[in-house]
Structure 1
Amino acid sequence: MGIDVTEDKYVTLNEGHHKRLVTCPSRNPVFKKYPGLVTQSVYRRTKDGDKERDGNPFIYALKKTRGYRIRSRELVKFKPSFDAILYKIIDKFPGACLVTLPSSYPIAEILARRIARKNGAQIFNRIFRKATVAEVLANFDPHAVKKQHQAEINSQLATFNKLDPNELVNLKEMRNRIRSYFNPISINSDLLGQLPTTKLLLVDDLLSTGTTITNAANLLKYNNFTVVGAVCLFSAL
């Protein structure tokens, strides 16, 4: 099962192909390993579709951005596959508390609520926030930059230095190959006392390079918390 996009940018489910998004339970969830972290995504994104789209019109439709939309009656059609896949995921993390990552639209929070309805997990929504330009520059490690990336890094640093230091950083405007050099999130230290120290499961909307979610895991581990994994609604391409 995949998705179609109409000329007026409405997303619809198509059970006859796997283009743009693979939604069938037999091919999901999607596992992706990063150093010290394993992620599981409910739906598999794919570039198999028309060339103008990058494989995620569904998330644009959920966020109502870039002109994409999805009707409520169409969204309901995804529920059987969504529930079947989600049960596969949450069975692997009994007793884990959910920590959501920040976004301009609360898809991670919605996903966390769906998980909590099925297993009673406790949700923590404001542990993380988007980092400011000043924070990203302060945490940047120039010694970690590979030679082949130096020119692009210099260009990005020049861009950062022209911005308001209090502006929030958005990695979507940055090339994938240099995203890992910058930490786009910060931790709200005053809220850490709310968290249990063991069995934390990160929840995010979409995987791209894994930079955000791995930085989140590392921040928690640095503060002596145990992260058992991460769940995303959409996989990396």
Structure 2
Amino acid sequence: MGIDVSRDKFVTLNEDHQLRLVTCPDRNPALKKYPNLLTYSVYRRTKDGDKERDGNPFIYALKKTKGFRIRSRELVRFNPSFDAILDKIMERVPCGGLVTVPSSYPVAEILARRISRKNGAEIFNSIFKKATVGEVIAGFDQAAVKRQHRAEVKSQLATFAKLDPNELVTLKEMRNKIRPYFNPLSLNTDLLECLPAENLLLVDDLLSTGTTISNAAKLLKASGFNVAGAVCLLSAL
């Protein structure tokens, strides 16, 4: 099962193909292994279907960006596959608490609520905040930069240096190959005492390079918490 996109950019489910987004339970969840984190994605993204798109008009429609839309009655059609896949994920990963990754749109929070309905886990939406330019520069590790990336990383640092140090950092305009050198998150440390120590499950909307979700796990682990894994709505390409 995949999705169609009309000329006026409305997204609909199509059970006759697997273009743009693979939604069938037998091919999901998608699993991505990072050095410090196992990440499960409910739906698998694919480039098949549109050369001019990056394979995620569904997430654009949920966020009502780039002109994409999806009707409420159409979203209901995704529920059977969504629930079946989420049940498979919950069987594989323990969950003592749900920690969402910050975004301009509440997709991660909505996903966390759906998970919480299944396992009763408490949701924590404010543990992370977007890092400022000053925080990113202060935490930058020059020794970690590979030789082939030095020139581009240096250019990015020069761009940061021209910005207000209190401006929030975004990785969206940054080339994928240098994103891992910059941590876009920081912790609200005064809220950490509310978190359970074991089996935290990170929740995000979309995997791209995995930089944000991996850094979220690192921050929590460095603060003494156990992170059991992560769940995203859509996989990396």
For residue 74 of structure 2, what is the aligned residue in structure 1? 74
CA contact (8 A) 2:3 2:19 kept: yes
- Distance in 2 separating the partners of 1:162 and 1:117: 45
Cα shift at 1:95: 4.4
Q: Does 1:209 align with 2:235?
A: no
* Map of 2:5 onto structure 1: 5
What amino acid does structure 2 have at the position aligned with 1:150? R
| Other-structure match for 1:23 | 23
- In structure 2, the residue matched to 1:160 is 160
Residues 41-81 of structure 1, C-alpha deviations (whole Å, 9 max, x = no match):
00000001111100001101000011111011111111110
Residue 47 of structure 2: aligned partner:
47
Distance 1:187 1:81, change over 3 A: same
1:25 is aligned with what amino acid?
P
In structure 1, distance between residues paired with 2:23 and 2:212: 24
In structure 1, what residue type is equivalent to 2:172? K
Q: Within 2, Cα distance between the matches of 1:195 and 1:54?
A: 36
CA distance, structure 2, for counterparts of residue 205 and residue 182 of structure 1: 20
Does 1:171 find its partner at 2:171?
yes
Moved more, 72-81 or 94-103: 94-103
Offset of 1:92 from its aligned partner? Answer: 2.2
Match of 1:34 in 2: 34
Shift of 1:93: 2.9
The one-letter code sitting in structure 2 at the alignment partner of 1:16 is D
Q: Deviations over 1:27-53 (max 9, x none)?
A: 000010001210000000000111110
Counterpart position of 1:89: 89
Q: Which residue of 2 aligns with 1:100?
A: 100
- After TM superposition, the runs of 4+ consecutive aligned structure 1 residues lying more than 3 A away are none
Partner of 1:186: 186
Aligned mates of 1:98, 1:214 — CA distance in 2: 15
Distance in 2 (alpha carbons) for counterparts of 1:216 and 1:13 = 32
Q: Distance in 2 between matches of 1:121 and 1:219?
A: 21
User: 2:115 aligned with 1:115, yes or no?
Assistant: yes
CA distance in 2, matches of 1:159, 1:68: 31
For each residue in 1:194-223, what CA deviation from the matched residue of structure 2 results, as whole angstroms up to 9, or x when unmatched? 011111010010101111111110111101
Q: Distance in 1 between matches of 2:157 and 2:117?
A: 43
The one-letter amino acid paired with 2:102 is P
How much identity, in percent, do the aligned residues show?
75
Partner of 1:228: 228
Whether the aligned pair in 1 keeps the contact of 2:30 and 2:235 (CA below 8 Å) is yes
Which amino acid in structure 2 is aligned with residue 131 of structure 1?
A
Counterpart CA distance in 1 for 2:160 and 2:20 is 33
- Residue 96 of structure 1 and its aligned partner are, at CA, apart by 2.2
Q: C-alpha distance in 1, partners of 2:160/2:202?
A: 28
SS at match of 1:40: strand
Once residues 93 and 56 of structure 2 are traced to their aligned partners in structure 1, the CA distance between those partners, rounded to angstroms, is: 27
Determine the C-alpha separation between the residues in 2 that align with 1:167 and 1:55: 30
Given residue 82 of structure 2, which amino acid in structure 1 is its aligned partner? F
Deviations 1:2-39 (A, max 9, x none): 11111111111111111110000000000100012100
The 3-state SS of whatever aligns with 2:38 is strand
Matched position secondary structure for 2:136:
helix
User: Secondary structure of 2:92's match?
Assistant: coil
Instruction: Name the Cα RMSD after superposition.
Output: 0.8
Q: Which moved more, 1:51-60 or 1:146-155?
A: 146-155
Shift of 1:137: 0.6
Amino acid at match of 2:77: K
3-state SS of the aligned residue for 1:44?
Answer: strand
User: Structure 1: 5+ residue runs without aligned partners?
Assistant: none
